[in-house]
Amino acid sequence: MTGAPLPLPASAAKVSLFRKLLIHPTGAVSLLVLFLVALASILAPVLAPYDPNASSLKDVLAKAGSEFLLGADSAGRDVFSRLLFAGQFSLAGALVALTVALVIGVTAGLIAGYHGGWFDTVSSWLTGLLMALPGMVVLLAARAVVGQSMWLSMVIFGVLLSPAFFRLVYASVTAVRNELYVDAARVSGLGDVRIIGRHILTVVRAPVIIQSAMVLGIAIAIQAGLEFLGLGDRTIPTWGSMLNDGFINIFKAPTLVLWPALVIGLVCVALTLLANAMRDELERSRGPVKKGRKAAPTGAENASEKRGNAAVVHAEEPSSNHGELLLEVTDLGVGYDQPDGSTTDVVHHVNLTVRRGEVHGLVGESGSGKTQTAFSILRLLPQDGRITGGSILFEGRDLAHLSEKEMTKVRGKRIAYIPQEPMSNLDAAFTIGSQLMEPMRVCLGISKTEARKRALALLAKVGIPHPERTFNSYPHQISGGMAQRVLIAGAVSCEPDLLIADEPTTALDVTVQAEVLNLLRELQEELKMGVILVTHNFGVVADLCDRVTVMQSGRVVETGPVRAIFNDAKHPYTRKLLEAILEDTAPRGPLVTAGTPRELNGVTP
């Protein structure tokens, strides 16, 4: 109980979405515009100088001026007053559509997503049906039957819009339903209603609000469109009917069409911008979603900073490989450009050499910079990442300063790469065969028949039982172990000099791992390749590597022949890692039950 609590990083303050919107530039402006339009509509009876429906023949198409602020329309009604009152009806109509869509869509989405079964089948099918016809055509057809009531049209449109919410909620719920934290809540004995309330509604809430803003915009646009066609309710003023009147008189009074168009445009743009601002803020607050493996500056790093480049370097063994020097990385730095213009360094002053025929293990925990180092040699760092210093000498050329065009010629043919995840590293849209042939044809400039022959031979070589069948398969049709063999085949297809393998067996089962390790050893010996093997597994290191470099927080802490590292580690971090290995620990042994002697158990009544 007395162990010191682990230190925590500084807390990020929790701010509500609404507050964030007030600071967000477009969010704040959009909110303000919508608020003012809504306020003006609500206060129309107070603000409007005239009755919106009071027409007078003498004022037909009156010019804007002191009597009519924005002029009068074709019936001599005050445009400004109509604009204000129309806001009431247009906004209320859109709200009716939104409410109907929300109620139907969210409820059905929750039930279908959470319980599945027949309700799921039926509602998904109905959704497809509702989305099959353009809303405008359905509304017009409905108009032929139900008449010109704006409210009824908006209720029907609400039904037509409900799939927008149904699909959103359904997708979120089905995604969340299988999350482990929902399983944990079930194990804790929470009922369905509680789980939906606590875990599912919280996830769905924000996207639904965003979608609501979009839907409101669409409803206003469609309603205005319907009224614009002259099919709306003539007894109430709406923005759409004003637009209609303006368009009819566009030659006589061109500004008449301007005001309602401006208001409709403004409201629609404000709603869309608001939705976008909310999405922005939501994505930002979620932060780096996946394991954005950037080394965070920690206390350990600061300590090693003071030590400078004090990496432990072990002497060469007399028997070690004296092949030609293939790769020499000197003083390599890698950094990521941040949005604020600064650069976060993730690899500092790394030195690394690989000789022909040598397997060099690059070992470290997550955030150690081992993968970043490997990617920088390939010059395939992720977006915003770049080499900030040092050199990467390969056959007398500095890869760090090669043009992208020249680098493309080096990759594949001279330096090849084996990734970690077998499945995600194959393009699902192409057959295994075509993915093997394409780089060979580009790099070696061989014909299609020749490439096909070589690809089949390679597949056989990496131990795939039916090369022809696998050649014609798509990635989703083969197992993970097979996929990793295909990737290895692809990596060695152009007989490279240097192979960079990034955790090549981590995603595999242990029995498959043993076979893949064997395959890598055979290929390495046959092709006399130099290999950089990035791994966190000391078993894999012991199996394959001749030399080892241990990295921590973007720095090399220790490097040397494999036996020196295992038997004579000097750096405290290397020792800590080696101590954490479990392979040699004793088994826990059988359970000793204190207090209840075993012999008595059988005879207790």
Partner 1 sequence: MTETLLDIKDVVVEYPPKGFRAKPFKAIKGVSLDIRPGETVGLVGESGSGKTTLGRSVLGLAPVTGGSIKYRGQEISNATRAQRRELSHEIQVVFQDPYTSLNPSMTIEQILTEPLTVRKMERQAANKRVAELLDQVRLPHDAAHRLPREFSGGQRQRVAIARALALDPKLIVCDEPVSALDLSTQARVMELFIEIQERTGVAYLFISHDLAVVRHLSHRVAVMYHGEIVEWGDGGQVTSAPEHPYTQRLLMAAPIPDPDRQAKHRADRLRLLGIQREQDVQAGFA
Partner 2 sequence: MYRFVLRRLLSGVLLLFVITTVAYVLLYAGGGDIARRIVGPTATDAQVAMKSSQLGLDRPLLIQYWEWLTKALTGDLGRSWFNGQLVSTGVSSRLSVTISLVLGAVIIAALISVVIGVWAAVRRGWVDRLVQFVGVMGFAIPGFLIALGLVSLFALNLKWFKATGYVPMTTSFGGWAATVTLPIIALSIGCIAAVVQQIRGSLIDALRQDYVRTLRARGLSFNRVVYKHVLRNAGGPALAVLAVQFIGLLGGAVIIEQIFALPGLGQITVAATGQGDIPVVMGVVVATAAIVVIVNLIIDLAQGWLNPKVRLS
**Which residues within the stretch 506-535 sit at the binding site for partner 1 (CB under 8 A)?**
509-511, 513-514, 517-518
E strand or H helix at 532: strand 530-535
Contact 12, 288 (CB under 8 A): no
Candidates 70, 88, 87; CA nearest to 79 is 70
Measured from the CB of residue 18, what is the shortest distance to partner 1 in angstroms? 16
Q: Which does 133 bind (CB under 5 to 8 A by kind): partner 2, partner 1, none?
A: partner 2
Contact 86, 118 (CB under 8 A): no
Q: Segment contacting partner 1 (CB under 8 A): 38-46, 179-187, 431-439, 450-458?
A: 179-187
Single residue of 141, 296, 303, 457 touching partner 2 by CB under 8 A: 141
Q: Which does 590 bind (CB under 5 to 8 A by kind): partner 1, partner 2, none?
A: partner 1
543 belongs to the binding site for partner 1 (CB under 8 A): yes
282 belongs to the binding site for partner 2 (CB under 8 A): no
For 257, other C-beta atoms within 10 Å of its C-beta total 19
Candidates 244, 260, 275, 219; CA nearest to 94 is 219
Q: How far apart are CA 53 and CA 56, in angstroms?
A: 10
577 belongs to the binding site for partner 1 (CB under 8 A): yes
Measured from the CB of residue 133, what is the shortest distance to partner 2 in angstroms? 6
Single residue of 122, 184, 300, 310 touching partner 1 by CB under 8 A: 184
537 belongs to the binding site for partner 1 (CB under 8 A): yes
427 belongs to the binding site for partner 2 (CB under 8 A): yes
Q: Which does 209 bind (CB under 5 to 8 A by kind): partner 1, partner 2, none?
A: none
Measured from the CB of residue 10, what is the shortest distance to partner 1 in angstroms? 9
Q: Which of residues 271-300 bind partner 1 (CB under 8 A)?
A: 286-287, 290-291
Single residue of 221, 402, 514, 578 touching partner 2 by CB under 8 A: 221
Query: What phi, psi does 119 have (nearest 5°)?
Result: -60, -40
Q: Segment contacting partner 1 (CB under 8 A): 36-44, 145-153, 157-165, 504-512?
A: 504-512
* Residue whose CB is less far from partner 1, 420 or 513: 513
Query: What phi, psi does 218 have (nearest 5°)?
Result: -65, -40
265 belongs to the binding site for partner 2 (CB under 8 A): yes
Q: How far apart are CA 596 and CA 603, in angstroms?
A: 12
Q: How far apart are CA 605 and CA 601, in angstroms?
A: 9
E strands, 235-381, in order: 312-313, 325-337, 343-355, 359-363
Q: Which two tokens stand for residue 347?
A: 């690899």
Q: Which two tokens stand for residue 322?
A: 């004296």
The helix-helix angle for 201-228 and 258-286 (nearest 10°) equals 170
Measured from the CB of residue 290, what is the shortest distance to partner 1 in angstroms? 8
Contact code string over 93-132 relative to partner 2, x by CB under 8 A: -----------------------------------xx-xx
Q: Exposure of 343 by Cβ count < 10 A (0-12 exposed, 13-18 middle, 19+ buried)?
A: middle
For 476, other C-beta atoms within 10 Å of its C-beta total 9
Q: How far apart are CA 196 and CA 182, in angstroms?
A: 9
Q: Which does 421 bind (CB under 5 to 8 A by kind): partner 2, partner 1, none?
A: partner 2
301 belongs to the binding site for partner 2 (CB under 8 A): no
Q: Segment contacting partner 1 (CB under 8 A): 9-17, 331-339, 384-392, 468-476?
A: 9-17
Contact code string over 492-511 relative to partner 2, x by CB under 8 A: -xx-----x-----------
Q: In what order do the strands lie in the sheet with 385-394?
A: 343-355, 325-337, 385-394, 397-398
Contact code string over 11-30 relative to partner 1, x by CB under 8 A: xx-x----------------
527 belongs to the binding site for partner 2 (CB under 8 A): no
Contacts of 214 (CB under 8 A, 6+ apart): 164, 271, 272, 275
